[in-house]
Amino acid sequence: MKNIAIIYFTGSGSTGRLAEAVHAGAASVAGVQAELIAIAGKDITEGRYSNDAVFEKLSKADAIIFGTPTYMGGAAAQFKAFADASAGVWFGQGWKDKIAGAFTISAGPSGDKLSTLQYLFVFASQHGMIWAGNPGIPSFMLGKTDGHNRLGSTTGVMAQNTTPQGQPPVLDPGDQLTGEKYGQRVAEVTLKLRS
Amino acid sequence: MKNIAIIYFTGSGSTGRLAEAVHAGAASVAGVQAELIAIAGKDITEGRYSNDAVFEKLSKADAIIFGTPTYMGGAAAQFKAFADASAGVWFGQGWKDKIAGAFTISAGPSGDKLSTLQYLFVFASQHGMIWAGNPGIPSFMLGKTDGHNRLGSTTGVMAQNTTPQGQPPVLDPGDQLTGEKYGQRVAEVTLKLRS
Amino acid sequence: MKNIAIIYFTGSGSTGRLAEAVHAGAASVAGVQAELIAIAGKDITEGRYSNDAVFEKLSKADAIIFGTPTYMGGAAAQFKAFADASAGVWFGQGWKDKIAGAFTISAGPSGDKLSTLQYLFVFASQHGMIWAGNPGIPSFMLGKTDGHNRLGSTTGVMAQNTTPQGQPPVLDPGDQLTGEKYGQRVAEVTLKLRS
Amino acid sequence: MKNIAIIYFTGSGSTGRLAEAVHAGAASVAGVQAELIAIAGKDITEGRYSNDAVFEKLSKADAIIFGTPTYMGGAAAQFKAFADASAGVWFGQGWKDKIAGAFTISAGPSGDKLSTLQYLFVFASQHGMIWAGNPGIPSFMLGKTDGHNRLGSTTGVMAQNTTPQGQPPVLDPGDQLTGEKYGQRVAEVTLKLRS
């Protein structure tokens, strides 16, 4: 049984919806256990994140998928506080050879989301992880209408927050599908590489 | 009189030394006032930064130079918390047409510092700011030994933290010079563009 | 009178349409002359670009706006051949203090276009240029329907190639508007900074 | 037997030296065949690369390691011409699930080399490849003097061209070691993931 941890921060809840889609996809693969781990603001003091239980879980994962909204052109500060708190793990290269992946969401179709995914790639590379991106030509280029990878993102998953202000967060159906397929993808790569 | 704000986060103090070098360079230019503003951890609650006085100062600046260590491949969480707190300013495009620039420091010569500078560029672009990078061929390529731009960074200033552990932070002399010249550069661009 | 050069490569013609929109915006500003310069494949031999007349024109420009399709996640090889041919200018810092900007187009809404704009930013920074991005909240976030900055790009202009295969290239009206306003923006920054 | 292709462009020959180091490391792993493939300028006409034999070889590879000098802040135009020529492979996702990695070299310690590696990561992600970066804390941070990862690069290998002008290209011994270990690393990941 392989373990996939999906660690994410959500502000308004929309990144949480996307995390659930990715989780559903990963959990649908036989031989894989997937767990959602939310980064809590209360674990951050003066900008520093601390939660031993979370790092304990991550140390046992075969794959870690990182999720964050794109705030002001990059990963949310709350996510970054978690990332900075992994410096000790980094120095011991404790996550080396784990599979990595990522997803992000913001209001615009492009919206500088690639900046966030590129950062997460650098972060995972510092940890010696192996990156599984988001393969697949966008559906619309194949004449399909299911919305898979409708924004055209290849390094990880991008979604667009289209929830009207003040409403409970909902995902675009194409983005939901993209998240699910991505979870499945990471799970399959993990089964292969960590066997 | 033009105002240049240098807003930075420093953990161990080495980014603070670099901020002082940039400040000295900016302040040396006639017609320019430069101010150092440190981001304080105590202003961050559950990952969110709040300090009205800081944003008030920034609103009056003609140029804002951003400084942060490179932690785990990107801007420090404390800096990012400040950046995220500027979302209201962004929606009103309150920093539009201000000059922007940046500096960062980490332990390695390259050390993924470009990732941090690229992020700060995206951040400043969201604000509609105009970016003044770090011009100049590295000294060593010109047969000089003063160490100017010794790491070869063009989008902003990179410095290498060479302080032995447990010692008070010191800057490499070349990095000190690079910081000073950069402060001067941003000041000169500001005098021109904001006249 | 300030001179703005728009240098671009176009394959199918759609980048050319976007270049014309940027040109129209720049040329609409009093006190500015704008010129379109196409990068021609015939000037590239074994991957190396050579055209003295083009570099002569660029040396006289106050601003240079770079345009290229996003091919396979980055600037087109033809554009890159032009960029590589500027190494001599770079060593003499001949474009220092000129204003820089950029636009790109590809099939997807996001489509890794930020990768291209980030590259062009690094390229311009090597030349000591000052970068004028694409300010402005996307129209749809302001409740407007004119499509301005509909893709949500801040570092430069992104457009989406929606031309049906085999048809003459057309621009989305929102992208057309975004290109025009961007040309105007760069012209205004140039008038100010190069006065 | 797993096949690793190392495809690279070299101008002055220094990227070629680095390619040989990566090749030596990959070839030293039991169960792996490694092949060096140079991108030739003569295969590029008006900026377009064409060489069916090269793409035929790559189609059979289990891993592809990309190598290019960093010219003007990005991959060399000759490399980019090769990348653009892979658009047909991309549309069929012919390289999906292959392992990817990269190396680059330029004159400065940092020298915007991360820009090149980030591009190659986006390029490989478009192809649905799985990225194996360059793990390992820099030697000097561990109190060692062998120069491994002396520049501090995690997404792929960076080397610094220190060859005096007009001399045959030589690699820094630390960069040589970094290249060799990286070839070995990619080979080991390939054996695991492609079994």
How far A43 CA lies from chain C's nearest CA (Å)?
32
Taking 50 as the pLDDT cut, the residues of chain D under it are none
Under an 8 A CB cutoff, do D152 and B106 touch? yes
Q: Which chains touch B (3 or more CB pairs under 8 A)?
A: A, C, D
Give percent of chain C above pLDDT 90.
93
Q: Which chains touch C (3 or more CB pairs under 8 A)?
A: A, B, D
**Chosen from B62, B125, B141, B191 to mutate, greatest number of chain C CBs within 10 A:** B125
Residue with tokens 């900055």: C149
- Rounded Cα distance between B46 and B55, Å, is 19
Q: Does D40 touch chain A (CB under 8 A)?
A: no
Which of C83, C112, C118 has the CB atom closest to D72's CB atom? C83
Residue C195 has pLDDT above 80, yes or no: no
Poorest-pLDDT segment among A52-56, B75-79, B141-145, C45-49: B141-145
pLDDT in tens, A17-41: 999 999 999 999 999 999 999 999 9
Under an 8 A CB cutoff, do D93 and A154 touch? no
Q: Does B150 touch chain D (CB under 8 A)?
A: yes
Which of A73, A87, A112 has the CB atom closest to B72's CB atom? A87
How far D144 CA lies from chain C's nearest CA (Å)?
33
pLDDT in tens, A35-73: 999 999 999 999 999 999 999 999 999 999 999 999 999
Q: Which chains touch D (3 or more CB pairs under 8 A)?
A: A, B, C
pLDDT of residue A165: 78
pLDDT band per the 50, 70, 90 thresholds, residue B163: confident
Under an 8 A CB cutoff, do A93 and D136 touch? yes
Angle ∠(C96,C102,C103) on CA atoms, nearest 5: 170
- B36 near B8, Cβ under 8 Å? yes
Ramachandran quadrant class, C188 (left: phi over 0; alpha: psi -120 to 50; beta: rest): alpha
pLDDT of residue C175: 97
Distance of CA C85 to the CA centre of its chain: 18
Residue C9 has pLDDT above 80, yes or no: yes
* Secondary structure (DSSP) of D25-76: HHHTSTTEEEEEEEPPGGGEETTEE--HHHHHHHHH-SEEEEEEEEETTEE-
Under an 8 A CB cutoff, do B93 and C137 touch? yes
Which of D126, D130, D137 has the CB atom closest to A91's CB atom? D137
Angle ∠(C104,A148,D117) on CA atoms, nearest 5: 45
Q: Which chains touch A (3 or more CB pairs under 8 A)?
A: B, C, D
Q: Does A191 touch chain D (CB under 8 A)?
A: no
Which chain A residue lies closest to B81 (C-alpha atoms)? A77
- Could you give the 3-state DSSP secondary structure of residue D147? coil
Domains of chain B by residue range:
2-193
**Chosen from C122, C125, C165 to mutate, greatest number of chain D CBs within 10 A:** C122
Angle ∠(A78,A6,D100) on CA atoms, nearest 5: 105
pLDDT in tens, A113-124: 999 999 999 999
Under an 8 A CB cutoff, do A123 and B41 touch? no
- Rounded Cα distance between A127 and B73, Å, is 10
Tell me which chain A residues have a C-beta less than 8 angstroms from the C-beta of B73: 83, 119, 122-123, 125-126
How far B56 CA lies from chain D's nearest CA (Å)?
35
pLDDT of residue D158: 97
Angle ∠(D109,D110,D116) on CA atoms, nearest 5: 125
Q: Does B76 touch chain A (CB under 8 A)?
A: yes
pLDDT band per the 50, 70, 90 thresholds, residue B122: very high
Q: Which of residues 92-111 of A touch D (CB under 8 A)?
A: 93, 96
| Chain mean pLDDT for chain B | 96
Using alpha carbons, select from B109, B159, B155, B161 the residue that is nearest to residue B134. B155
pLDDT of residue B161: 93
pLDDT in tens, B36-62: 999 999 999 999 999 999 999 999 999
Q: Does B71 touch chain A (CB under 8 A)?
A: yes
pLDDT in tens, C112-171: 999 999 999 999 999 999 999 999 899 999 999 999 999 999 999 999 998 887 899 999
pLDDT of residue D164: 83
Report, at the CATH architecture level, how domain D2-193 is classified.
3-Layer(aba) Sandwich (3.40)
Q: Does C130 touch chain B (CB under 8 A)?
A: yes
Q: Does D154 touch chain A (CB under 8 A)?
A: yes
pLDDT band per the 50, 70, 90 thresholds, residue A140: very high
Under an 8 A CB cutoff, do A133 and D136 touch? no
**Chosen from B46, B50, B126 to mutate, greatest number of chain A CBs within 10 A:** B46
Helix count and strand count (H, E) for chain B? 6, 9
- B152 near B139, Cβ under 8 Å? no
**Chosen from D2, D89, D103, D126 to mutate, greatest number of chain A CBs within 10 A:** D126
Q: Does A46 touch chain D (CB under 8 A)?
A: no
Poorest-pLDDT segment among A152-161, B71-80, D85-94, D156-165: D156-165
Give the pLDDT mean for B128-135.
Answer: 98
**Chosen from C110, C158, C162, C178 to mutate, greatest number of chain A CBs within 10 A:** C110
pLDDT of residue C176: 98
**Chosen from B71, B106, B110 to mutate, greatest number of chain D CBs within 10 A:** B110
**Roughly what angle, to the nearest 10 degrees, separates helices C113-126 and D113-126?**
160
Q: Does C153 touch chain A (CB under 8 A)?
A: yes
Q: Does D87 touch chain C (CB under 8 A)?
A: yes
CA end-to-end span of chain B: 10
* Secondary structure (DSSP) of B27-53: HTSTTEEEEEEEPPGGGEETTEE--HH
Which of A126, A137, A189 has the CB atom closest to D93's CB atom? A137
> Which token pair is B38?
């440190």
Taking residue C94's Cβ as centre, other Cβ atoms within 10 Å add up to 15
Tell me which chain C residues have a C-beta less than 8 angstroms from the C-beta of B126: 154
Angle ∠(C127,B108,D131) on CA atoms, nearest 5: 85
Give the pLDDT mean for A174-193.
Answer: 97
> Pairing relation of β-strands D63-71 and D2-8?
parallel
pLDDT in tens, B139-154: 999 999 999 999 999 9
pLDDT in tens, C146-162: 999 999 999 999 999 98
